[in-house]
Amino acid sequence: MTTLRLGLTIGELAKRTGVKVQTIRYYETIDLLPVPDRTEGNQRRYDENAADTLRFIRHARDLGFEIGQIRDLLSLATHPEQPCADADTIARHHLKQVEQRITVLQSLRSELKRMVRQCSGGRVATCRVIESLADHAHCQSEHRR
């Protein structure tokens, strides 16, 4: 298959990894994904390592890791002989952030349920949902800042 010998085009890479072309270009500009070789016609050509890296990035993004964390994890992945303590630290920190967001979301859900439960279905002038949103001082959730 000539695609493998010549490398993947950005469109082929996007299809193979499920990452949009614009996102691939963005990852290149922020040095998260190495800039590929180009053909004489200035067309990007990616190898299988780029596809593997992009799959790694996509999976990490799907798990909610931030770009900086992914950059650090990719750097660690290039040194397989090292202990994984740093990767573990990054994952534990991310887990703590996720758990905090879950707590806030549960609080938001409770407040929204309360607002909906108190709505009488009358007119906007007496709507409890509108009233609750307008009177943020009585907010019962942790999203207050």
* pLDDT for the residue 5: 54
* pLDDT for the residue 117: 84
Residue 70 phi, psi dihedral angles, 5° rounding: -65, -40
* pLDDT for the residue 4: 41
* pLDDT for the residue 2: 38
User: What's the predicted TM-score (pTM) here?
Assistant: 0.77
* pLDDT for the residue 66: 96
Pick out the chain residues at pLDDT < 70: 1-5, 136-145
Residue whose C-alpha is closest to residue 9's, from 55, 17, 31: 17
* pLDDT for the residue 145: 45
